[in-house]
Amino acid sequence: SFSAVVFKLASIVIRFAPYGIFALIAWTFGKFGIAAIFPLLKFVLTVYIACVLQWILVYSLGMWLVGRLNPMIFLKGASAAIMFAFTTSSSAATLPLSMKCAAENLGVSKNIAQFLLPLGSSFNLNGLSIYLSAATIFAANLYGIHLSIPQYFTIVTTIIFTAMGAAAVPGSALVVMGAVMSSVGVPLGAIALIAGVDRFNDMMQTATNVGGDIFVTTLLAKQEQLFDKEKWHAHQAESTTALVDSLPKNE
């Protein structure tokens, strides 16, 4: 009940966020000009590329090497939850669909899915960590601050602890971003600029978070023998049949 109250308060604050962001962006462009758009586009592109690498190097290779499972079947089975997370930017809203995809499409036991996926939505925040790291470095470059190796370790350590306090709702990254930047002495003024493109980054990082939750849950279910291979292979057969049916047939 207390969690529901906290999420409700966060949603009320977020409803007013677009008006505040509009005012901040208007002030930013009024002061720095239209040239401020190009660094922001590079920043968004950096976050997307980093998340794609996370999908390829960690999720896909991990599914293949550790789980001995076809990563394409995993992506197909989890695609509904991933797309829903991308459009809503909310891990909490995606949670019921994540459980359904894990249990029905990927063969994960319902008990382990209902235990691990809610836990993962609070602690397994890969996409948010990527976003916060890129945002802090972007802000440091914006102010001409050179970050040392110990400061990079400080950023990583701070993100590990602060990311767990982020609510699974859109816009929550901006709240913890200030703590990460403050840990290495980066001025918080850059948050006003980053807030203008927060929604674009939030979509990708939330999809990466949800994908990571389902990825870990699937691997652990297989390791603990709480994995239904028949459902996995049935889903693989359905995917193969749909692919064959989509091919053009000779009259």
Beta bridge partners of 227: 108
- pLDDT of 231 reads 66
Is the CB of residue 89 less than 8 Å from the CB of residue 166?
no
**What pLDDT score does 118 carry?**
87
pLDDT (tens digit per residue) in 202-229:
889 999 999 999 999 999 888 888 777 7
- Residue 37's pLDDT is 76
Residues forming a β-bridge with 108: 227
Nearest residue to 209 via CA among 112, 98, 73:
98
Read off the pLDDT of residues 47-58 as tens digits, 9 standing for 90 and up. 999 999 999 999
The set of residues, in sequence order, having a beta carbon less than 8 Å from that of 89 and lying 6+ positions away, is: 170, 171, 199, 202, 203, 206
Does the pLDDT value for residue 186 go beyond 50? yes
The stretch 237-251 carries a mean pLDDT of 46
Compute the average pLDDT of residues 132-161: 90
> By C-alpha distance, which of 221, 241, 30, 15 is closest to 108?
221
How would residue 169 be classed by pLDDT, with cut points 50, 70 and 90?
low
Give me the mean pLDDT over the 153-178 stretch. 79
Question: Where does the pLDDT of residue 251 fall: very low under 50, low under 70, confident under 90, or very high at 90 and above?
Answer: very low
Alpha-carbon torsion, ordered 176, 14, 33, 135, to 10 deg: 20
| Alpha-carbon span 201 to 57, nearest angstrom | 20
* Dist. CA 117–CA 120, nearest whole Å: 5
Q: What distance lies between CA 76 and its chain's CA centroid?
A: 18
**Structural tokens at position 236:** 């693989």
Q: What is the mean pLDDT of residues 20-36?
A: 71
8 Å CB contact between 128 and 173: yes
User: Cα 145 from chain centroid?
Assistant: 27
Average of per-residue pLDDT across 2-17: 71
